[in-house]
Amino acid sequence: MNLARIVPIAPWLLGMCAVSFPRPLAAAETRPAYLDPAAPLESRVEDLLGRLTLEEKLSLVHADSKFTTAAIPRLGIPRRWMSDGPHGVREDVGPDTWNVAGHTDDFATCMPVLIGLAATWNPDAARAYGDVIGEEARRRGKDIMLGPGVNIQRTPLNGRTSEYLGEDPFLASRMVVNYVRAVQSHGVASCVKHFAANNQETQRASVDVEMDERTLREIYLPAFRAAVQEGGAWAVMGAYNKFRGQFCCENDTLINHVLKGEWGFQGLVMSDWGGTHDTREAVFNGLDLEMGTERGARDRAKKSAPEAGSDPSPYERYYLAGAFREGLKRGEFPLSALDDKVRRNLRVMIATRLFDGREEGALNTAAHQKAARSVAGEGIVLLKNEGGALPLRADKLNAIAVIGENAVRLHAYGGDSARIKALYEVNPLEGILRKVGARTNVTYSPGYRKDGAPDLIDKAVAAARAADVAIVIGGLIHERPFDCEGADRSDLRLPWGQDELIRRVAAANPHTIVVIVSGSPVGMGDWLDRAPAVVQAWYGGTEGGNSLADVLFGEVNPSGKLPCTYPRRIEDTPAHAMDEYPGKNGVVHYAEGLLVGYRWYDTKRIEPLFPFGYGLSYTKFEYSGLTLVSGTAPNGPIVTVEFQVANTGDRAGAEVAQLYVHQAKPSLPRPLKELKGFRKVMLNPGEKKAVSIALDRSAFAYYDPARSGWVAEADDFTLQVGSSSRDTRLQGVFRLGETTLGN
């Protein structure tokens, strides 16, 4: 129980002491404890806390510009810088405006968007990715990176689908852990966002999300939990929306009870920009750092801080600034509430080695560009490849017709807060030109344009007819209302007449390759049966065009797998089928419950266009020899699934072996299958490797709301191993002997 809440006056008196007698840096004191890297973290935090005045403390819990908090020079605390995130270090803005700062040293490496990272199904790629972000953030002087985003894809129409890690909590969890660890290894805090249930952009600032406890625990929270508990993320950003009637940035259940209580999170919770709404709620419900409060909200806050002066600075009008100070003075808020927030802010500073001399970092290095190329290439998903249409052989082609605006359009500088001022961005046309050299004649025709131009199709068809191969590079754009913050798409269709373009190009040239550049699933029903090859390329970043050309011409054998289901029709998707998107009267009920993504399609037996986990290769893989080995070590795995994967084709390639679990007779209904393990295996032609995936009890458990815990029941579990969620190659049954309840 928080005594300070009951007796608010006493802590305030203590606070007065803190105001009057902060511990100064004594002249004789050579190195105070907080500056001693060898001292334990908590004693450094307490030492520094004890030296702060009330004003200094307050200055640490709200912004003093768009992306900073104030410096405290007398204690050697510099201005603290935050930056978006999530696939590169954003250009500088402000300080007090969203206008770009116009710096020349803020060009950065743009990594592929996060959904493209998820499509690698390779936690090592997440580590390489995080290393780039961390090193570049350090070089750019950033202390906290605003990412990654781990909101689960509830609807493919969500404008921020590209910024997240797909539809499955297990996959997202495995990817986020390495991302966060890598970023933070460079002395930069990773701020995981948007906590929680932020699954649509429509009405994002107000919509109230309702879902049952089990769905929350099993679908929407695991990636956050993994980021915090396994990844050690030092910061979490609250979401804009409400959850069960309370704004997420000031949400007692999510922040106080789950994040800080159950999960023991010791870092800081910051608001999304403009996500703070009320001083009292922010004080008591766990918000530690208020960022981005804008004018309308400021004016409301001003009313509760009358003595803030005739024209207080915009930052003084923040909910956790003047109004907080006044509430402390009046005894409405205990000083302990402020101290807890400050402690968390200091902890993050110290844990990220602010006072210990951090590495300088590095920007736009060849190594970063190489990582960008390899991760983007590894995330490209080959969706269809009939008759060996791919890979292309440059030496066998005299003429290639490249068609489509996305062959030349740049996307790095799109996506609103996720935009990156890339040092350069190789577009697909450039990538192809570089790959084929002067030998092959490459023509380019736009085929469609964002602003429409009907005759473009005729020209593209003529170009396709005259070429050996036509490559249509279309998809979406990284701008509203497509793959961009602030709005959702209205449907799955490709815009601007692309369906017709692809149909006609494919009719004109049987060797037509379709490349979809997008950050979310698109409809393909109109033309999929007519195009022999289809590639999902995402927004590939700095090296995107090279990565795509690597795959098209076979230098990289595709190994990406879909991190989300591609539906045939939007009506087939769970939120839309339940008529629970975008909600009614400001409330959205997640009525589909646990049945998100493949859990829905499998359980409801709906045929998707492409299933979760799907992706082809230029080689073939065979699975064999499944054995289940029961664990006997007390804290070890309870079963290890062992099998072999062989490359039976004639090229080296990587396969993502996926393990799904199905419980025979659960006491509460469960989805037909759930991903609980995967392994990416690189194999030379003819090579066979043994793979083993160890499962602990969490792989068998579901959340039981009645017992507020995770139950693994004594039952039979079918363990399916395969190449996608719908392509099971091996299976075995494991009998769990004993029911257990855990956290």
Residues of this chain that interact with ligand BGC (CB under 6 A) are 84-85, 146, 193, 272-273, 417, 485
Structure tokens at 423: 């040092």
The C-alpha atoms of residue 736 and residue 716 are separated, in whole angstroms, by: 6
By C-beta, is 85 or 134 nearer to ligand BGC? 85
Report the relative pairing of strands 533-536 and 512-517 from DSSP bridges: parallel
Contact 241, 208 (CB under 8 A): yes
The C-alpha atoms of residue 40 and residue 34 are separated, in whole angstroms, by: 9
**Smallest distance from ligand BGC to CB 665, Å:** 42
Contact 435, 391 (CB under 8 A): no
The C-alpha atoms of residue 162 and residue 148 are separated, in whole angstroms, by: 11
By C-beta, is 417 or 720 nearer to ligand BGC? 417
Q: What share of the chain is helix, strand, coil (3-state, %, to 5)?
A: 35, 20, 45
**Smallest distance from ligand BGC to CB 191, Å:** 8
The C-alpha atoms of residue 708 and residue 238 are separated, in whole angstroms, by: 23
Contact 120, 172 (CB under 8 A): no
**Smallest distance from ligand BGC to CB 218, Å:** 24
By C-beta, is 181 or 193 nearer to ligand BGC? 193
CA triple 500-505-510, angle to 5 deg:
135
* Closest residue to ligand BGC, based on beta-carbon distance: 417
By C-beta, is 130 or 334 nearer to ligand BGC? 130
By C-beta, is 348 or 456 nearer to ligand BGC? 348
Structure tokens at 159: 């404008």
Q: Among candidates 376, 359, 357, which has minimal Cα distance to 109?
A: 376
Residues 6+ apart with CB under 8 A from 732: 626, 627, 628, 641, 718, 719
Structure tokens at 332: 């409405």
Q: Among candidates 493, 538, 490, which has minimal Cα distance to 516?
A: 538
Contact 158, 201 (CB under 8 A): yes
Contact 236, 145 (CB under 8 A): no
DSSP 49-96: HHH--HHHHHHTSB-SSSSEE--BGGGTBPPEEEEE-SSSPPPPB-SS
The C-alpha atoms of residue 463 and residue 95 are separated, in whole angstroms, by: 49
By C-beta, is 417 or 617 nearer to ligand BGC? 417
By C-beta, is 85 or 497 nearer to ligand BGC? 85
Q: At what angle do helices 428-436 and 544-552 cross, to 10 degrees?
A: 50
Structure tokens at 726: 């719908």
Does the active-site annotation cover 339? no
| C-alpha 419: how far from chain center | 14
Beta strands in 196-346 (DSSP E): 208-210, 235-238, 242-243, 246-247, 268-270
Structure tokens at 366: 């060849």
Q: Among candidates 500, 455, 454, 453, which has minimal Cα distance to 474?
A: 500
By C-beta, is 190 or 417 nearer to ligand BGC? 417
Contact 189, 267 (CB under 8 A): yes
Annotated active-site residue in 84, 131, 208, 272:
272
Contact 23, 49 (CB under 8 A): no
Q: Among candidates 191, 111, 207, which has minimal Cα distance to 155?
A: 207
The C-alpha atoms of residue 528 and residue 23 are separated, in whole angstroms, by: 70
Contact 248, 205 (CB under 8 A): no
By C-beta, is 147 or 671 nearer to ligand BGC? 147
By C-beta, is 85 or 322 nearer to ligand BGC? 85
Structure tokens at 510: 């049987």
Total length of the chain: 743
Q: Among candidates 541, 548, 539, 402, which has minimal Cα distance to 482?
A: 539
Q: What are phi and psi of 249, to 5 degrees?
A: -75, -10
By C-beta, is 237 or 549 nearer to ligand BGC? 237
**Smallest distance from ligand BGC to CB 253, Å:** 21
The C-alpha atoms of residue 352 and residue 181 are separated, in whole angstroms, by: 12
Contact 505, 464 (CB under 8 A): yes
The C-alpha atoms of residue 90 and residue 713 are separated, in whole angstroms, by: 47
**Smallest distance from ligand BGC to CB 197, Å:** 14
The C-alpha atoms of residue 139 and residue 387 are separated, in whole angstroms, by: 48
CA triple 406-409-411, angle to 5 deg:
100
Buried/exposed 462-481: b ≥16 CB within 10 Å, e otherwise = ebbeebebbbbbbbbbbbbb
Annotated catalytic residues are 272
